[in-house]
A and B are shown apart, each in its own frame.
Chain A
């Protein structure tokens, strides 16, 4: 697992950055709300900086494009996750105990 804090200095050059805005998610303290949003069901699409928490089905957001090995935290259900590449090439978040 890659700790984003320890990732190489040139990451910001290669990764796309995202400005996160509050989407109205109200289940965590206000200062963390921009990191999460609700999954809107069929028709909703994940952006390159987003992943679904397999435990509680909330969409987790990062200010960086996600890469395999990145660590994510789901605050609503308190899970630590790691981004992995699925067989079809999509990125998924798996729980890391």
Chain B
């Protein structure tokens, strides 16, 4: 561990770099940096500026409900992927992702509880959008079908990029506690989207024929993603003229992989 300590990190051999960043040790020391001193994703001393108006409060609860179901899908997806991961290092990385997704679900449910929801898991299930639930079902089908590339594409590229874009936009205008919770999640998501994009990028480079299959997966999921984006933009209050920016942020990652 720590072969690069004291050296220029960019001089590492690529294989050694991947060993480092996919390890439990790396994850462990990374999350320590930003989770130490927090309880359920935020500092206890952070001022509670939750919306007091009934409409705003209900809207936030609905937004968090959708996030919970998204994180539940990610937890199910990541845990299922461990069984089909191609090697030990990847299994270990996915295990850290499983813990991240579990943590996200937990802090979001806790936030709902702080907002007065008595049974947040049931409430989340009741409020979540239909397109998100359908996406969750489609993702699980890919995982259960043991299709590594398609499942990674749906989970770590599409779902994670979407969450990354939405959470960033929401954090900008959120109340202090929700903002801290989301910022912690965003830091985790960086690892997940990076892992997905790089893993798929390498595979597409080595076996370009995979692209046809993934294009089909994308076509099947696209309408759900666009619908989820539309719902999220409306709920978190992104002005119509800025909604395109949110979509662009999501689309960039799939475009970097050559899906236009």
The 8 Å CB contact of B34, one of A26, A31, A62, A80, is A26
Residue B210, interface by CB 8 Å = no
| A95 x B17 contact (CB < 8 A) | no
Q: Which residues of A contact B204 (CB under 8 A)?
A: 97
| A71 x B30 contact (CB < 8 A) | no
Residue B149, interface by CB 8 Å = no
Which 7 residue pairs are nearest across A and B when measured between Cβ atoms? A77-B194, A97-B201, A29-B29, A26-B33, A56-B190, A78-B194, A78-B21
| A4 x B252 contact (CB < 8 A) | no
Report the Cα distance A85→B202, complex, angstroms.
Answer: 23
| A73 x B194 contact (CB < 8 A) | no
Residue B148, interface by CB 8 Å = no
| A75 x B29 contact (CB < 8 A) | no
Report the Cα distance A78→B164, complex, angstroms.
Answer: 16
Residue A30, interface by CB 8 Å = yes
Residue B198, interface by CB 8 Å = yes
| Chain A interface category by residue count | 20 to 34
Q: Which residues of A contact B164 (CB under 8 A)?
A: 56
Q: Which residues of B contact A47 (CB under 8 A)?
A: none
Residue B226, interface by CB 8 Å = no
Q: Which residues of A contact B29 (CB under 8 A)?
A: 28-30
| B194 x A4 contact (CB < 8 A) | no
How near does chain B come to A41, taking the closest CB pair, in angstroms?
A: 10
Given known contacts A26-B34, A78-B21, A97-B202, A71 and B2 CB-to-CB distance under 8 angstroms = no
Residue B179, interface by CB 8 Å = no
Q: Which residues of B contact A55 (CB under 8 A)?
A: 190, 193-194, 197, 253, 256
Residue B49, interface by CB 8 Å = no
| A70 x B10 contact (CB < 8 A) | yes
Report the nearest A residue to B9, measured CB to CB.
Answer: A35
Report the Cα distance A40→B205, complex, angstroms.
Answer: 33
Report the Cα distance A29→B22, complex, angstroms.
Answer: 13
Residue B127, interface by CB 8 Å = no
| B197 x A80 contact (CB < 8 A) | no
* Extra inter-chain contacts (4) besides given A31-B4, A56-B194, A58-B190, CB under 8 Å: A27-B34, A70-B10, A74-B194, A77-B191
Given known contacts A55-B256, A58-B190, A95-B198, A27 and B33 CB-to-CB distance under 8 angstroms = yes
| B198 x A62 contact (CB < 8 A) | no
| B30 x A78 contact (CB < 8 A) | no
For A61-89 the 0/1 string (1 means CB < 8 A from B) is 01110000011111111111000000000
